[in-house]
Amino acid sequence: MTKAFPYHQDPGHGWIEVSVAELQMVGLRSNDFSGYSYRKGNRFFLEEDCDAGVFVEAYKREFGEAPAFKEVHTDRQHWIRDLPSIHEMAA
């Protein structure tokens, strides 16, 4: 069964939300991503243009199928934009 990951969107951008454990499950670490993705505790928010694709490809290699996504949309600037970069220490 394919897991559905939250796909957060605002009017200008989007991010896939994954946990540290989910990244490790597909063999990825924070250093595999650009500074345009964000982190809150043990949750990563992978920007849609490049970093999300890295995760999707790793997921497909591990499980033989692409992950599913559950869209979460806001008409305002998303709070994710205020988080520290994925490469900064977690708060």
Range of the domain at 39: 15-82
pTM for this model (two decimals): 0.89
Tens-place pLDDT, residues 24-71: 999 999 999 999 999 999 999 999 999 999 999 999 999 999 999 999
Q: Is residue 5, in this structure, part of any structural domain at all?
A: no
Q: Is residue 87, in this structure, part of any structural domain at all?
A: no
Full 3-state SS string of 9-63: ECCCCEEEEEEHHHHHHCCCCHHHCCCCCEEECCEEEEECCCHHHHHHHHHHHHH
Q: Is residue 8, in this structure, part of any structural domain at all?
A: no
The DSSP 8-state label assigned to residue 77 in this structure reads -
Q: Are 22 and 12 in contact (CB under 8 A)?
A: no
Higher pLDDT, 51 or 2: 51
Q: Is residue 6, in this structure, part of any structural domain at all?
A: no
Number of domains in the chain: 1
Q: Are 37 and 51 in contact (CB under 8 A)?
A: yes
